[in-house]
Amino acid sequence: MSSKKQAILVCSLILLWYSSNIGVLLLNKFLLSTYGFRFPIFLTMCHMSACAILSYISIVFFKFVPLQTLKSRNQFLKIATLSLVFCGSVVGGNISLRYLAVSFNQAVGATTPFFTAVFAYIMTLKRESWVTYAALVPVVAGVVIASGGEPGFHLFGFIVCISATAARAFKSVLQGILLSSDGEKLNSMNLLLYMSPIAVLVLLPATLVMEPNVIEVTVSLGKEHKYMWLLLALNSTMAYAANLSNFLVTKHTSALTLQVLGNAKGAVAVVISILLFRNPVTVMGIGGYSITVCGVIAYGEAKRRFK
C-alpha cells in the first residue's frame, strides 16, 4: 500500500474512532442523566455483548474476514488477560469517581500515554526518540491544566484511579501485540470476537454484586420511557464500532499514538458537549485543551521525523 493510501486509511479510521467514541459518550450522558439509567457496569456489559454478537455475525454470516482459530493456550491466555485488564480499567475508573472529583480523575487519566510508553518499552523493548517523549509533556500538561481547580484528595480513590489508568495503558500495548505478532496475529474482528464473551463473563458477576437492582430498575425505566431500549441498542452498536475502530487504529499506528489521540478526542468531545448541552467553560479549560491539541500535533510531527 502506498504511503498516500496508508495515510488516507489511517485518517479514515481515526475519524470513525472519534465519531463512534464521541457518539457513545454523548449517548451515555443522555441515558445516565435524562433516563436515570445509573448502571455503568451493566451498560459496559451491554456494550461487550453487542460486540460479541455483531463480531460473530460479521465473521460467520457475512464473512467480512476469515474466521481465525486460536493457535495456542498462550494466545488464549493473552486474550483473556486483555479482557480482564479492560474490565478492570472500566470498573476501577467507575469506583474512583465515588471518591475523586471528575477534574482530578481527568488529570490522573491524562497520564495514560506515560504508562503506555513504559509498558511498550517493557513488553516490546520499543523505544521512541527523546523528541517524541518530550512531545508528551504538553499533551499531559494541557489536560491537567484544563482540569482546573483543586479537587479533594482521597488516597484509596487515587490508588484505584491510577491503577485503572495503568490498566488502560497496559491493555493498549497488549492489544497492539495481539494484532501484530507474527506467531499469534489476529485481525481486529477476530480479536474482538474472542475478547468480548470473556469480558461479559467477567462483568456479569460484577454487575450482580455492585448493581444488584439493575434488572428491576431497567425494566421499570423501559416501561416509563419507550425509547430507552432503542437508545440502549444504538449505544451498544456504536460501542461495537468504537471498539473495532480502536483495534484498527492501534494496528495501523501504535499503542502510544492511540493514547495521545485519545487525549485529543477528549478535547473534541468537550467542544461538542459544550455546543449540545451548553455547559459552562473557563478560560483555563480552553487554554488547557488547546495545549493538548498542540501537543498532539507536535507528537505526530516527531513520529514522522524521528522514525
Given this model, what pLDDT does residue 150 score? 47
CB 249 within 8 A of CB 80: no
Q: What is the DSSP letter of 69?
A: P
Torsion angle, CA of 117/179/172/88, rounded to 10 degrees?
-140
Residue 129 DSSP SS3: coil
Given this model, what pLDDT does residue 74 score? 81
This prediction's pTM: 0.71
**Cell triple for residue 296?**
498532539
**Cell triple for residue 31?**
441515558
Tens of each residue's pLDDT in the chain, 307 residues: 567 777 787 788 888 888 887 787 777 767 766 677 778 889 889 988 998 999 999 888 888 788 888 888 888 888 888 888 888 887 777 677 667 655 566 667 767 777 777 788 787 777 777 777 787 788 778 767 766 654 556 778 778 888 888 888 888 787 777 666 666 677 778 888 998 999 999 999 989 988 889 888 888 888 888 788 888 899 899 888 887 787 777 777 776 666 667 666 666 666 666 666 565 566 776 777 677 767 777 776 776 676 5
Given this model, what pLDDT does residue 197 score? 93
- What distance in Å separates the CA atoms of residue 31 and residue 75, rounded to the nearest whole number? 37
For 157, residues 6+ apart whose C-beta sits below 8 A from its C-beta are 95, 96, 98, 99, 100
For 38, residues 6+ apart whose C-beta sits below 8 A from its C-beta are 32
